[in-house]
Amino acid sequence: MFRRNLLRLLVVLTGLAASLPQAWALVEININKGNVEPLPIAVTDFVASGDLGQRITDVIAADLKRSGLFAPVAKQAFIEKISNPDQAPRFEDWKVINAQALVTGRVTQEGDGRLRAEFRLWDTFAGQQLTGQQFFTQPENWRRVAHIIADAIYERLTGEKGYFDTRIVYVAESGPKTARKRQLAIMDQDGFNARALTNGNDIVLTPRFSPNRQEITYMSFEGNQPRVYLLQLETGQREVVGNFPGMTFSPRFSPDGQKVIMSLQQEGNSNIYTMDLRSRTTTRLTSTAAIDTSPSYAPDGTQIVFESDRGGKPQLYVMGADGSNQRRISFGDGSYSTPVWSPRGDLIAFTKQSGGKFSIGVMKPDGSGERILTTGFHNEGPTWAPNGRVLMFFRQAAGAGGPQIYSIDLTGYNEQVVPTKGFASDPAWSPLLE
């Protein structure tokens, strides 16, 4: 169980030691130019007793590689063996194997039992240190330290926040299709440290993280009555979000975490409501004879995107946070569903059904610039990384026994399966942890 303040970040090493000669440019990645050629980077085994240094660097390298922006150099190609990370490396040895960036580090155990992990990031062609940091944590958190270091490297070389120190809440599925067991589960973004959050006695759907990072909302069919619940991750405490006379679906938090927005079904149609979590007052935002569902706030909280079949088939609509100015934004062939606003505010991800296939795509908030990232037999339920550069979704291939979770970046070229023990669906990405 994650607890606050397990990690205490101490930045003790400076960035650039001096201004660089004009003949050299700092190594960097421009992630705004479409399909990016991965940057060759060497991640050396951290100096440590035992194999912990190697395990940490393997996680760092795996994080960077999965992003699609970095190409870790094979360790077999290394010429220099780093034995003292406090000393500058032999840059010529790294330039000859085309390692444009280099990571060195050390892991030691403090007298109080904590781990101390430190790293340095070098620009090999400029011959300069780019950044360096050190962290203290309990030994069992070594994987998280690796993710934080990978985030620091990502941010220094791209200019944007990373997304590796995050978690995914999802629906873990097991058993035969006719008697499928579904329970809430949570894991690190790379599929490790998975654990169950519910016992699987009742069907659960659409888990979503709160911006405060320690709470999720989801729908459960407990007692054969679909209701929206809140679950505190630290304590395991659970509560129902109101007792409504109909069925509630698709809950999601507002950007400030003070409200839950959801769809409430009554008399054959469904409309969108918000509930203030402090006062427990509800506000109705839509009022139609159609099915309005899957609402998602813009990151500034001023607008909401949602799905509605008021035009005859499911399409995407945008409205003000108070329900005003409802307008359709999707006009392509097929049906659109499960919209979710990017944390950057610049795009809306969606599921599109057309021609007997399901696609994951993105469009601008005004509906322009629609772009399909991936298409398959059944793809659904996109969720954004906190930096708005990567999506996760779930897919069930034709003839497969159940769904799996995948990730893909905004170029559409870097699609990868996220490993889970069994079948998995409905992923939701957390904000960066603290």
- pLDDT of amino acid 131: 96
* Distance, C-alpha 87 to centroid of its chain: 36
In a domain, 173, yes or no: yes
In a domain, 114, yes or no: yes
Considering the domain architecture, whether residues 284 and 383 belong to the same structural domain is answered as yes
Average of pLDDT values for 403-420? 94
Q: In the listed set 158, 175, 196, which residue is the last one of a domain according to the structure? A: 158
Average pLDDT of the chain to the nearest whole number: 89
**Residue 400 clears pLDDT 90, i.e. is over it:** no
Residue 22 confidence class, pLDDT cut points 50, 70, 90: very low
Strand order in the sheet with 303-308: 292-297, 303-308, 315-320, 327-328
Considering the domain architecture, whether residues 255 and 366 belong to the same structural domain is answered as yes
Considering the domain architecture, whether residues 149 and 177 belong to the same structural domain is answered as no
- pLDDT of amino acid 12: 30
- pLDDT of amino acid 175: 85
| CATH code: domain of residue 68 | 3.40.50.10070
Number of domains within the chain: 2
- pLDDT of amino acid 297: 98
Considering the domain architecture, whether residues 45 and 94 belong to the same structural domain is answered as yes
Considering the domain architecture, whether residues 154 and 177 belong to the same structural domain is answered as no
Angle (CA) 149 150 152, round 5°: 65
**Residue 10 clears pLDDT 50, i.e. is over it:** no
CA 143 to CA 86: how far, in whole Å?
Answer: 23
Considering the domain architecture, whether residues 254 and 120 belong to the same structural domain is answered as no
**Residue 174 clears pLDDT 50, i.e. is over it:** yes
- Selected residue with higher pLDDT from 36 and 51: 51
φ/ψ bin of 193: left (φ > 0), alpha (ψ from -120 to 50), beta (otherwise): left
- In the numeric block, the tokens 């999601």 are attached to 252
**Residue 298 clears pLDDT 90, i.e. is over it:** yes
**Residue 193 clears pLDDT 70, i.e. is over it:** yes
- pLDDT of amino acid 11: 30
| CATH code: domain of residue 191 | 2.120.10.30
CA 39 to CA 43: how far, in whole Å?
Answer: 12
Residue 24 confidence class, pLDDT cut points 50, 70, 90: very low
- Nearest-10 crossing angle of helices 142-158, 52-66: 40
The domain of 346 spans 166-432
- pLDDT of amino acid 336: 98
Nearest Cα neighbor of 168 from 413, 337, 410, 407 is: 407
CA 280 to CA 278: how far, in whole Å?
Answer: 6
In a domain, 23, yes or no: no
Average of pLDDT values for 369-377? 95
CA 293 to CA 336: how far, in whole Å?
Answer: 12
Average of pLDDT values for 132-149? 96
CA 168 to CA 191: how far, in whole Å?
Answer: 8
Q: In the listed set 107, 130, 158, which residue is the last one of a domain according to the structure? A: 158
Does the pTM exceed 0.85? yes
Q: How far is CA 283 from CA 91, 98, 261, 271, 277, in A?
A: 62, 59, 9, 11, 12
Considering the domain architecture, whether residues 182 and 266 belong to the same structural domain is answered as yes
CA atoms within 13 A on the CB side of 144: 25
CA 330 to CA 316: how far, in whole Å?
Answer: 5
Please write the tens of the pLDDT for every residue from 79-119.
999 999 999 999 999 999 999 999 999 999 999 999 999 99
List CB contacts of 88: < 8 A, sequence separation 6 or more: 122, 127, 129
